[in-house]
Structure 1
Amino acid sequence: MKEVTIYKNKKVLVLGLALSGVNAAKLLHSLGALVTVNDYKSFEENPEAQELLEDGIRVVTGGHPVELLDEDFEFVVKNPGIMYHNPIVVKAIEKKIPVITEVQLAYEVAESPIIGITGTNGKTTTTTMITELLNTDRRSGKAYAAGNIGTPASLVASQASSNDDIVMELSSFQLMGTTSFRPHIAVITNIFSAHLDYHGTREEYVAAKMRITENQTEEDYLIVNWDLPELREWSKKSKATIIPFSRKQKIEDGAYVKDGDIYFAETRIMNRQDILVPGDHNLENALAAICVAKLYGKTSSAIQKTFTGFAGVKHRTQYVRSYRERKFYNDSKATNTLATINALKGFDAPVILLAGGLDRGNDFDDLVPYMKYVKALIVFGETAAKVADAGRKADVKSIVTVQNVEAAVPVSYELSEKGDIILLSPACASWDQYRSFEVRGDAFIGAIEKTIQKLEEED
């Protein structure tokens, strides 16, 4: 960790806890700051605040009192989820107090090179791909995934050495609170409309994403999805060296697909079929990751080796296993129809789709045009009848209603043949039957193993 003195004996307010706030508070405390933590939850229901108090850090809980800012704080470190129209944030900005997020702190203390990944979709998968690529055949140090992926960036940055790399997933919320943040390599996977309740307009949302390259110089790299004209235009504002990727056209100095093979510049890397995670969106994620790997000097064989063993991020069109020439995929993270559409678009083989869950009042007609390969539909949960109705509109020949995911798996196998895909992609949240989409996905994986074990015993 770098020696940082700008916070020593300075009053700093950490606004909002969760993992990032806790680690920001601890890091600032270790840097000699006079830290006050403010969190909305009451002290009695706030184990994080209790822990920080035991560490000698002042805590104020049960709300966000604006009067706190009368105490002459010199910095505010804001939880990314707290909106900028929150009264205490508004007052801090009016008082010209710098309002930053935890990733800015991480950048200030990091000895390791930082690779930053942002975009509307694909951040987590791309971050994971890059981390695995950089760790393949690595001789010293380690690449660490951090940031929005779940591990606080400030925690990793305070522990990683100059021999390591930090692969940092970055949301627009986090990037809004950066000032000098400068990744050596920045990746923008794509840009679509999202989080307009937070940013107000699409232009503000895109501008927040583009802060990832704001402080880059010609010594740095910006990896951009060249299939999106908007990103091509926005990238002109960057001083970084642009490395494009495209699945639609040949790129002279980046990654692209040609005749079913993946290339970087003029070098063939591998066949696109070597990427186990299905879908054009995952192909784009892989192209972005390959650009990073090539900037790090990774060989084509090392890249191919990584991808042939990469089953995907858990619960995101995750390849689980094959059995008797059937392939099982866990896409429990698909909690809306758009996510399930993306999953279905990734397969050109017969699919047995497992779907259903929490009823939020919507129908599932959006799925109908994308169910041409669905040979059987197994539905469950509160939305079972609605999903089944979409299946009938799509002319799915076999539709079965079961109680839950565990019951769906053996039925899916009974309906399957060699070459089929068995896909859990619910198009619904899980909360009618499962605590989270992770629990639902784990139930699916467990049911696969149980079903296979029973089949083996019967042979």
Structure 2
Amino acid sequence: MKKITDYENKKVLVLGLAKSGVSAAKLLHELGALVTVNDFKQFDQNPEAQDLLTLGIRVVTGGHPIELLDEDFSLIVKNPGIPYSNPLVAKALSMKLPILTEVELAYQIAECPIIGITGTNGKTTTTTMIGLLLNADRESGTARLAGNIGYPASEVAESARADDDIVMELSSFQLMGIQTFRPQIAVITNVYEAHLDYHGSREEYVKAKWAIQQNMQETDFLILNWNQAELQELSKTTKAAIIPFSTKEKVAGAYLADEKIYYKDEFIMLAGELGVPGSHNIENALAAISVAKLKGIPTDVIRQTLMVFTGVPHRTQYVGEIAGRKFYNDSKATNILATEMALSGFDHSALILLAGGLDRGNSFDELIPSLVGIKAIILFGETKDKLHKAAIEAGVKTIKLTKNVETAVRDAYDFSEKDDTILLSPACASWDQYPNFELRGNAFIQAMHQLKDIEK
């Protein structure tokens, strides 16, 4: 990593722990900063804080006391999950105290190029595709995944070498805390309405996403979803060179035409050869192909890599087959749009959908057109009655209400026949029955494997 001196003897407050906070605290300590860590969790239930204390880092736990700001800190490094409405954060803003997220630290110390990926949907799949493409047939260095995908950016940047690439998934929360961050290549997969409880408005949410390009220059590349007029309009305000991708028209980048994928008129592969289904995954692949081409990856390597890519866990992930029935885990579909995208990739006449979860007060009228023609739907969780109503409106003939994901798998199998697909794509958050979408997806996979053992 670059041995920067910017933080030597500066008082820095790291607000909130989890993986990124721990990594930021350790890095700043190594860079000579006078670090104070403040975490809401009590010390005796906080192994991360206990670990940092053994390193000689000051730790304040059990709340976020505003009085900390009397200590003349030079800046705050904030966990992305802590909202700006938090009283301590709001006070810091009123004091004009710089508030960063650890992705800014990662950029400052990184010796290698950074490829940044953001967007409402498809970030993780696109990031994973890019990592696989850049590592395929690579002779030196490694493409290292980082950021919102689960690997703290500052920790990855600390160990990365000059011949590596950092492929960094970036949330809107993280991008609100950057100052000098400048990726060599940036991707915006799409922008829809999301996280309004955090950002306050769609305008502020889009502004946060668009920040990924704020320091980019003419020699950098910004890959944009040209299907979205909003991104086309925003493209007029950046210095970066634009590489568009589209599934609707021929563009000067990556595009789909007659079910074939091209990059600047060069045929890459058939859309049907992609290892993951769905129109949204074609968009993800177009974005990833654009990065690969900019980085000089040969066409045959791109095609072979994307043919065998079967998805990211919990994101339209193919998990197995039982007696001719294919099972897909899309537990990450925690909203209607994500489920609509997943449904677009399957033959509805042979599709059994598992859906339901936390009731956030919304109706499912938007989902009705995407439910038309599916073979059966199995519903669970707080929203099962609302989804039941939507399924009736869509004309779904076979509807079953059940207890949870595990019982839904058994019910779906009972309704299924050879060559059917059983898809978990809940259209809802998991928190009514499962702590997170990962555990919900794991429950689906485990139930499938138990079913496989029974059917042997």
**TM-score if structure 2 supplies the norm length?**
0.94
Aligned residue number for residue 220 of structure 2 = 220
**Structure 2 counterparts to residues 146-161 of structure 1, below 5 A:** 146-161=146-161
Report how far residue 438 of structure 1 moved. 1.7
CA distance in structure 2 between the aligned counterparts of 1:246 and 1:306, rounded to whole angstroms: 21
Q: Tell me if the contact between 1:278 and 1:347 (Cα under 8 Å) persists in the aligned partners.
A: yes
CA deviation vs aligned residue, 1:160-214 (integer Å, no higher than 9, x gap): 1112111111111111111111100011111122233333333332222222111
In 2, the alpha carbon distance for the partners of 1:403 and 1:204 equals 39
Tell me how far apart the structure 2 counterparts of residues 383 and 406 of structure 1 sit (CA, whole Å). Answer: 16
Q: Give the drift of 1:133.
A: 1.1
In the alignment, which residue of structure 2 is the partner of 1:450?
450
For the residue of structure 2 that corresponds to 1:354, the secondary structure is: strand
Map 1:106-185 onto structure 2 (within 5 A).
Answer: 106-185=106-185
Looking at structure 2, the residues matched to 192 and 429 of structure 1 have their Cα atoms a distance apart, in angstroms, of 17
Worse-superposed segment, 158-167 or 91-100: 91-100
1:369 and 1:358 mapped to 2: Cα distance? 22
Question: Match for 1:271: what amino acid?
Answer: L
Structure 1 residues 201 and 381: CA distance shift in structure 2, 3 A: closer
Which residue is 1:437 aligned to? Answer: 437
Cα displacement string for residues 138-161 of structure 1 (whole angstroms, at most 9, x for unaligned residues)? 122211111111111001000111
* Contact 2:16/2:82, CA 8 A, preserved across alignment: yes
Counterpart residue number, 1:320: 319
Q: Does structure 1 retain, via aligned residues, the 8 Å contact 2:373–2:395?
A: no
Distance 2:402 2:85 in 1: 46
**Could you list the runs of 5+ residues in structure 2 that have no partner in the other structure?**
none
**1:53-452 correspondence runs (5 A):** 53-252=53-252, 254-350=253-349, 351-360=351-360, 363-452=363-452
The 1:10–1:216 alpha-carbon spacing in structure 2 relative to 1, beyond 3 Å, is same
- Larger mean CA deviation between 272-281 and 13-22 belongs to 272-281
The Cα shift of 1:360 comes to 5.0
User: Matched residues in 1 for 2:371 and 2:323: separation?
Assistant: 24
- Which amino acid letter does the alignment assign opposite residue 83 of structure 2? M
Q: Could you tell me whether the CA contact under 8 Å between 2:379 and 2:402 is conserved in 1?
A: yes
Contact in 2 for aligned 1:186/1:212 (Cα 8 Å): yes
Find runs of 4+ consecutive structure 1 residues off by over 6 angstroms.
none
Change (3 A) 1:199 1:381: closer
Q: CA deviation at 1:431?
A: 3.9
Matched AA of 1:306: T
Distance 2:371 2:176 in 1: 39
Any idea what SS the aligned residue of 2:90 has? helix
Mapped partners of 1:193, 1:367: distance in 2 = 16
> Amino acid of the residue matched to residue 282 of structure 1?
N
Of 190-199 and 9-18, the range deviating more from structure 2: 190-199
How many corresponding residue pairs? 455
Corresponding residue SS for 2:63 = coil
Q: Cα–Cα, structure 1 residues 70 and 429, in superposed 2: closer, same or farther, change >3 Å?
A: closer
Could you tell me which amino acid in structure 1 is paired with residue 181 of structure 2?
F
Whole-Å separation in 2 of the counterparts to 1:122 and 1:172: 14
The CA RMSD measured in Å over matched residues stands at 2.0
Match of 2:377, SS state, is strand
Which segment is superposed worse, 395-404 or 158-167? 395-404
Q: Structure 1 residues 181-190 or 8-17, which shifts more? A: 8-17
Distance 1:165 1:332, change over 3 A: same
Deviation (angstroms), 1:11: 1.1
Distance apart, 1:416 and its partner CA = 2.3
**Cα shift readout 1:214-248 (whole Å, capped 9, x = no counterpart):** 11111111111112122112122211111111111
Separation in 2, partners of 1:291, 1:199? 30
How many Å separate the matches in 2 of 1:401 and 1:193? 30
Quick one: distance in 1 between partners of 2:184 and 2:156? 17
1:368/1:272 Cα in 2 relative to 1: closer, same or farther (>3 Å)?
same
CA contact (8 A) 1:276 1:319 kept: no
1:262–1:272: 8 Å Cα contact kept in structure 2? yes
Q: Percent identity?
A: 64
* 1:205 partner amino acid: Y
Secondary structure at 1:197's aligned position in 2? helix
Mapped to 2, the partners of 1:74 and 1:130 lie a distance apart of: 37
Letter in 2 for 1:335: T
Indicate the SS of the match to 2:375: strand
Q: How far, CA to CA, are the matches of 1:42 and 1:434 in structure 2?
A: 24
Is contact 1:262-1:269 (8 Å) kept?
A: yes
Q: Say if 1:18 and 1:298 are closer, same or farther in 2 by CA, change over 3 A.
A: same
Greater shift after overlay, 312-321 or 433-442?
433-442
**Contact 1:349/1:419, CA 8 A, preserved across alignment:** no
* Secondary structure of the structure 2 residue equivalent to 1:52: helix
Judging changes above 3 Å, is the alpha-carbon distance between structure 1 residues 277 and 5 closer, same or farther for their aligned structure 2 residues?
A: same
| SS state at 1:128 partner | helix
**Is the CA contact (8 Å cut-off) linking 1:15 and 1:76 kept in structure 2?**
yes
Query: Residue 400 of structure 1: SS of its match in structure 2?
Result: strand
d(CA) in 2 for partners of 1:152 and 1:31?
17
Aligned residues of 1:349 and 1:420 also touching (Cα < 8 A): no
Q: CA deviation at 1:137?
A: 1.4
Answer yes or no: is the 8 Å Cα contact 1:336–1:427 preserved in 2: yes
Query: Residues 381 and 119 from structure 1, CA distance in 2 versus in 1: closer, same or farther, beyond 3 angstroms?
Result: closer
Q: How far apart are the structure 2 equivalents of 1:238 and 1:431?
A: 39
The letter for the 2-side match of 1:298 is: I
User: How does the TM-score come out when normalised to structure 1?
Assistant: 0.93
Please tell me whether the aligned partners of residues 380 and 401 of structure 2 are also in contact (alpha carbons under 8 angstroms).
yes
Cα separation, 2, equivalents of 1:79 and 1:385: 37
> Which amino acid is 1:177 matched to?
G
